[in-house]
Structure 1
Amino acid sequence: MAREGARGLTFRAVDVEARVPNGTASNYFNNRDDLLTQVGHRFYERLEPDSATMAAALEGPRDRDRVTELMHELVDRVSRFRSGYLALLELRLEATRRPELRHLLTERIRADVDANIAYHTQSGLPGDATTVISLYLALNWLILERLTLPDVFPEEQIHDLVTDLVERVVPGPGR
């Protein structure tokens, strides 16, 4: 999907990419909507932080510096999965025309936002739900720029942009 767009995601293309006999994908997916929905599920499976990352997030003080570290890790992790993020953008566009996919993505993204808010507030990190939502919106757009138009904000600026953003959004002392 990242390479060819949603229209390029066909059963035949899946078979070719997976190097399996023609017709194999159609045995696993009922229709194109099912295929797109499963791509949406798979993106989130691949992007989940591992348990070591989650455990490390709670080590040390729970202050703005910790949030800054977490946001750098997030931006780097998502950016490393370029094809997945670009595929998710294609899915979001496709979801404007496919109610089942729109429902899946809405449900999944809302659940992720809620989980991030709960994690943030329950872990004692500074800020509230609005802090988390503001970081979510700003960092998603920064990642979009980084992956699609990298010359808007050259790579050497990304670290400082994330740090400055956290300083402006997250309350309290830090650094």
Structure 2
Amino acid sequence: MRRNVERRTALVDAAIEVLAREGARGLTYRAVDAEAGVPVGTASNYFANRDELFTQAGSRIYERLARDAAAAMTGPLEGPRDLAKVTELLRAAVGRIESFRTGYLALLELRLEATRRPELRAVLTERVREDVEANIAYHLDSGLPGDATSVRLLYLALNWLIVEHLTLPGVFSDEDVQELVAIAVERAVPR
């Protein structure tokens, strides 16, 4: 297998775009090559099989989401640590995810594919568990109101809200999404 890290990353990013647009069945070496703008056969030189391509795409999506989240959470929280601050942080998180729409849509495809591919399921399970635990730790360490259960409930509620908004954008307007985030915080975080 080839070792050019930049080329491999470009191919994985292309795979994410293909997954978001064409779904898991459309993820072929040829489709990835075309999306990346490289000669036919390039992806097959970097990935031994489709399972590896799926797994690498799943890892890359979480790498990009985690990098964006880490950048947003650097530095001290300013202002009071109250429900309004939790709402502000979660609205920003929803915005970051919406700005990487293809990544999130590809992740939905990968989650479905993970029901049939144990190795992919293991990678996604680890990444999601790490993400949830990191969110809980950040929340608790920041002194924000609520507990670990509040964070889990908000994680679950907002994930489905994001799915709804990205896949069927006519169901809830942008304003509805903002309002629903605030309502979810109000109801999930005990006073």
Q: TM-score normalised by the shorter chain: which range applies? A: over 0.9
Give how far 1:164 is off.
1.3
Tell me if 1:120 matches 2:120.
no
1:105-152, CA deviations, whole angstroms, 9 ceiling, x for partnerless residues?
A: 011101111111111111111111100000000000000000111122
How large is the RMSD of aligned CA atoms in angstroms?
A: 1.3
Identity over aligned residues, as a percent? 68
- Report the counterpart of residue 32 of structure 2 in structure 1: 14
For the 8 Å contact 2:111–2:121, the answer to whether it is kept is yes
* Runs ≥4 residues deviating over 3 A: none
Residue type matched to 1:23 in 2? G
Please list every run of 5 or more consecutive structure 1 residues that lacks an aligned counterpart in the other structure: none
Give how far 1:57 is off.
6.2
TM-score normalised per structure 1:
0.93
For the 8 Å contact 1:5–1:87, the answer to whether it is kept is yes
TM-score normalised per structure 2:
0.86
Task: State how far apart, in whole Å, the 1-side matches of 2:188 and 2:142 are.
Answer: 18
Helix, strand or coil: the match of 2:74?
Answer: helix
Give how far 1:51 is off.
5.0
Please list every run of 5 or more consecutive structure 2 residues that lacks an aligned counterpart in the other structure: 1-18
For the 8 Å contact 2:61–2:107, the answer to whether it is kept is yes
Task: State how far apart, in whole Å, the 2-side matches of 1:120 and 1:109 are.
Answer: 16
Give how far 1:56 is off.
5.2
For the 8 Å contact 1:92–1:102, the answer to whether it is kept is yes
Residue type matched to 1:4 in 2? E
Tell me if 1:65 matches 2:84.
yes
1:135 to 154, 161, 172: 154
Residue-pair matches, total: 172
